[in-house]
Amino acid sequence: MIDDIDLDADLNAQDDDGLGWSTLGDARVSDRIIAGAMVLAGNKYGQAVVRIVAVDDDGQVHFSILPGSLAKNAHLLGRTVA
């Protein structure tokens, strides 16, 4: 499943607004990381479906983690996730 991650992120890291964050440099395909997109984020320790809230000019990505399990939210990704 690690190969399916769209955005490498520490799901426990939060910005000043309480949102998760990462950078465009940590995206598998940066064109997918746009405000409103639902993507798979995380790392080898945990993954979740997230909604991209904003992408700053400097490449910082802010996201909210959707409640529920990965299995429950996988249909939001529009692709098959193992």
State the 10-residue block means of pLDDT for the chain, 82 residues long.
Answer: 84 96 96 94 96 96 96 82 48
Q: What is the per-residue pLDDT for 78?
A: 73
Q: What is the per-residue pLDDT for 4?
A: 87
Please name the amino acid found at residue 40: L
The pair of structure tokens assigned to 22 is: 């990462």
Query: Which residues make Cβ contacts (< 8 Å) with residue 31, sequence separation at least 6?
Result: none
What separation in angstroms does the CA of 5 have from each of 16, 23, 34, 82? 24, 14, 15, 11
Q: What is the per-residue pLDDT for 67?
A: 96
DSSP-assigned letter for residue 2: G
